[in-house]
C-alpha cells in the first residue's frame, strides 16, 4: 500500500484458510485462480490448463472474468474452442522454446483459423478480445510482461523472484526477501530501452518473456529466435484480421505496415 502497488494473488486449487482470506480482503487486489479450484466465484482471472476445462458451460457462467488458456502450440491444440463473445481471453503457448520450422507453420495455420472465427464473431456485433490476435490491433506501443521492471513475485517461501517461472525453475533464483527488500542485479536490463531488438520492434503484443530469454539465450534482454518468430506470426495474423474487420467498418483509422521478416535479428543481420 505504501508503494502504491497492485497485488495479484495466485490461488491454489484448494480453499485457503479463513485467516489468510481475511487479510487478503484488507487491500485492493486481483484474484487469479485455477479453473478447477474449489471456490472461483470471486475470481478476477480464471486459468485453464486444458481445452477440456475450457468448456462453454464454464466460460458462460463466468463471462465477466478474464480467461487464461494455457495450450501446447506445437500440436495445434484447441482448434475448435468456443471463443467467449464479449470476454477477454489470453492464450498462452507453453512450448515456444521447442518450436521448429514445421511448428511455426502449424501455429501460423492455427492463428489463421482462429482469426476467421474472431472475424465471424465481430460480424455478429460481438467484440471478443484475444491477446494473440486483437491486442496488436488495439495497441500503439509495446505492452509486455515487464517482469523485473514493473512487477515482481513474492513466493510462499517469503522470497522475491522476477516472476513465478524463476521461482518454479529454481528457488535459488531469488532477488531478495521481505526482511532485506529487493536485490535485482543489473535491473536496467529488464527495461525495454535496454533491449536492442525489442525496443524497435512493432510486435506490440509480445510478452517479451525475460524468463524465456534467460533460458534460451542466457541473456535477460535478448529474445530467442523462437519467441520472435511466434510473436511476428501473431502480429501478421493480426494485420490480416484487421484488413477483414475494416471491410465491415471496424477500426477504420488503424494502420499496420506489412513486414517482410519474422525475426528482427535476421533482418538486422542482413
Query: At residue 270, does pLDDT exceed 60?
Result: no
Q: What is the pLDDT of residue 267?
A: 73
Do residues 225 and 212 lie in contact, with contact meaning Cβ atoms separated by under 8 Å?
no
| Pair type for strands 160-161 and 153-154 | antiparallel
H helices then E strands: how many in the chain? 8, 10
Cell of 98: 521447442
pLDDT in tens, 137-170: 999 999 999 999 989 999 999 999 999 999 999 9
pLDDT in tens, 23-78: 999 988 999 999 998 888 889 999 999 888 888 888 888 888 999 999 887 765 56
Lowest mean pLDDT among 72-76, 122-126, 216-220, 256-260: 72-76
3-state helix, strand, coil in the chain (%, to 5): 35, 15, 50
Query: Across the beta sheet with 129-130, what order do the strands follow?
Result: 7-10, 29-34, 45-48, 66-71, 88-93, 129-130
Rg (CA), the chain: 19
Do residues 195 and 221 lie in contact, with contact meaning Cβ atoms separated by under 8 Å?
yes
Domain boundaries of the chain, sorted by first residue? 1-94, 149-183
- The arithmetic mean of pLDDT across residues 82-89, rounded, is 83
Q: What is the pTM of this model?
A: 0.91
In eight-state DSSP terms, residue 182 is: E
Q: What is the pLDDT of residue 135?
A: 97
- The arithmetic mean of pLDDT across residues 113-121, rounded, is 93
* Three-state secondary structure call for residue 8: strand
Amino acid at each position: 500500500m505504501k508503494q502504491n502497488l497492485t497485488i495479484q494473488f495466485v490461488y491454489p486449487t484448494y480453499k485457503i484458510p479463513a485467516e489468510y482470506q481475511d487479510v487478503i480482503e484488507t487491500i485492493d487486489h486481483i484474484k487469479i485462480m485455477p479453473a478447477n479450484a474449489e471456490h472461483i466465484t470471486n475470481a478476477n482471472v480464471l486459468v485453464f490448463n486444458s481445452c477440456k476445462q475450457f468448456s462453454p458451460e464454464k466460460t458462460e457462467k463466468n463471462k465477466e472474468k478474464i480467461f487464461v488458456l494455457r495450450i501446447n502450440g506445437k500440436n495445434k491444440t484447441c482448434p475448435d474452442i468456443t471463443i467467449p463473445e464479449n470476454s477477454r481471453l489470453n492464450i498462452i503457448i507453453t512450448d515456444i522454446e521447442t518450436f521448429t520450422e514445421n511448428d511455426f507453420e502449424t501455429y501460423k495455420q492455427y492463428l489463421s483459423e482462429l482469426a476467421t472465427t474472431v472475424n465471424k464473431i465481430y460480424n455478429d456485433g460481438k467484440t471478443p478480445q484475444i491477446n494473440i490476435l486483437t491486442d496488436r490491433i488495439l495497441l500503439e506501443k509495446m505492452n509486455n510482461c515487464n517482469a523485473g521492471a514493473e512487477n515482481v513475485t513474492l513466493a510462499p517461501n517469503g522470497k522475491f523472484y522476477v516472476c513465478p517461472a524463476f521461482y518454479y525453475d529454481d528457488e535459488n533464483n531469488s532477488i531478495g526477501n521481505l526482511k532485506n527488500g529487493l536485490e535485482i542485479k543489473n535491473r536496467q536490463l529488464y527495461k525495454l530501452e535496454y533491449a536492442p531488438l525489442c525496443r524497435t520492434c512493432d510486435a506490440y503484443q509480445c510478452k517479451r518473456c525475460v524468463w524465456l530469454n534467460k533460458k534460451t539465450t542466457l541473456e535477460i534482454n535478448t529474445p530467442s529466435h523462437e519467441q520472435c518468430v511466434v510473436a511476428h506470426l501473431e502480429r501478421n495474423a493480426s494485420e490480416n484480421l484487421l484488413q477483414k474487420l475494416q471491410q465491415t467498418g471496424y477500426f477504420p483509422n488503424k494502420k499496420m505496415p506489412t513486414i517482410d521478416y519474422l525475426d528482427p535479428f535476421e533482418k538486422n543481420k542482413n
